[in-house]
Amino acid sequence: MAHLIAPSILAANYGALNKDFDMLNKSQADWVHVDVMDGVFVPNISFGQMLVKQMKSVSEKPLDVHLMIVEPEKYVDSFIECGADVVTFHLEATAHAHRLITHIQAQGAKAGVALNPQTNVDQLDDLLEGLDLVCLMSVNPGFGGQKFIYRTINKIQQLRKKIVERNLDTKIEIDGGVGLQNAEAILKAGADVLVAGSSVFKSEDPALTIQRLKEIEIGNFDI
């Protein structure tokens, strides 16, 4: 299946969000990645439900909501009510990931689990079946514009192998430091969804950058 591009709205211009959504709506973006940060799980605060609801009202693309918050079980319902189509929480933020995945899906959203750079993909062994998406953080979460941690490539390969062996269709999303310079290597390693913040919004022509990311072609890859 063709890979998906999810521009991260964290890097957009908040004074002119409608303009950025207009660009995204017309672009080849598949999803809009929405980073929710609480200042506790990560050392930064971004935005909450009210802004997500506003984004939903202007977005023609599904909202891919990435919760970088503690106690995600308290908030998933409200984010789904505000229009989240995919809800991803961090494995490191809850003791009850399995329960939360089934709960999110029962509300009609897709469920994703994100892993910080130090968390091994083996931690997903008892969760993979029934999981819609795994978000591998390729930077330490909390800020846009950081450098891609190259070791993530090994993690993508390890996770792809598990997904193929079990014949699952769980998507692998890569988040942090992704751009035209490394997208091909990331896709070749086995990724399905590329999150791209600064590389899209800080480029001269964001819609063209999205198109270039979308048009990257990879042949069959060895596992």
Q: Which does 139 bind (CB under 5 to 8 A by kind): Zn ion, ligand DX5, none?
A: ligand DX5
Query: Cα angle vertex 132, ends 186, 105, to 5°?
Result: 155
> Segment 4-63, which members bind ligand DX5 (CB under 6 A)?
8, 10-11, 33, 35
Q: Does 175 bind Zn ion (CB under 5 A)?
A: yes
Amino acid identity, residue 36?
Answer: V
* Residue 66 or 212 with smaller CB distance to Zn ion: 66
Q: Which two tokens stand for residue 17?
A: 């969000």
Interface residue with ligand DX5 among 83, 112, 142, 190 (CB under 6 A) is: 142
The residue at minimum Cβ distance from Zn ion is 66
Q: Does 38 bind Zn ion (CB under 5 A)?
A: no
Q: Does 64 bind Zn ion (CB under 5 A)?
A: no
Q: Does 66 bind ligand DX5 (CB under 6 A)?
A: yes
Provide the 8-state DSSP code for 16.
G
- With CA atoms as reference, report the closest residue to 133 among 161, 109, 158: 109
Amino acid identity, residue 201?
Answer: F
DSSP three-state, residue 193: strand
Counting residues that bind ligand DX5 (by CB under 6 A) gives: 22
- With CA atoms as reference, report the closest residue to 132 among 159, 99, 97, 105: 105
Residues 6+ apart with CB under 8 A from 5: 28, 29, 30, 31, 193, 194, 196, 210, 213, 214
* Residue 30 or 126 with smaller CB distance to Zn ion: 30
The residue at minimum Cβ distance from ligand DX5 is 197
Tracing tokens 């079946």 back to the chain, one arrives at 129
Interface residue with Zn ion among 20, 21, 32, 66 (CB under 5 A) is: 66
Q: Does 195 bind ligand DX5 (CB under 6 A)?
A: yes
Chain residues in the site for Zn ion (CB under 5 A): 35, 66, 175
User: Which residues contribute to the site for ligand DX5 (CB under 6 A)?
Assistant: 8, 10-11, 33, 35, 66, 139, 141-146, 175-178, 195-199
